[in-house]
């Protein structure tokens, strides 16, 4: 009772930022992917016909497109970072006459 009276109002309502974790978001994403794969596999297994394959492709085409759309900016970022590091190493060698590093 006394602890509630001594706390500030924003501490009672807002959770601490330090307590937040990205794990629940990843659990949600992976569970949705697994459900999508399970439903597609069940349709193909129980309705073994050409029409079921067309149905699965027609209803599941957005999932790979969404994965590519989410991973493409990340790949572009890492590619540009890699190119920038190579360029920086080249400029450093040219300016300071530093030998090639054996890290790579």
Span 42-68, pLDDT tens digits: 888 888 778 888 888 888 888 888 888
| Backbone dihedral angles phi then psi of residue 94, each to the nearest 5 degrees | -70, -35
Q: Say which DSSP state 34 is in.
A: H
Model pTM score: 0.45
Please identify which residue in the block is written with the tokens 């794969």: 37
* Confidence band of 84 (pLDDT split at 50, 70, 90): very high
- pLDDT value of position 16: 55
């Amino acid at each position: 009772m006394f602890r509630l009276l001594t706390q500030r109002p924003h501490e009672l309502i807002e959770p601490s930022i330090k307590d937040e974790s990205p794990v629940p978001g990843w659990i949600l994403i992976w569970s949705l992917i697994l459900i999508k794969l399970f439903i597609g596999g069940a349709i193909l297994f129980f309705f073994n016909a050409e029409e079921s394959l067309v149905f699965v492709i027609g209803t599941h085409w957005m999932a790979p497109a969404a994965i590519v759309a989410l991973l493409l900016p990340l790949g572009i970022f890492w590619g540009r970072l890699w190119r920038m590091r190579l360029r920086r190493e080249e400029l450093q060698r040219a300016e300071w006459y530093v030998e090639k590093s054996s890290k790579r």
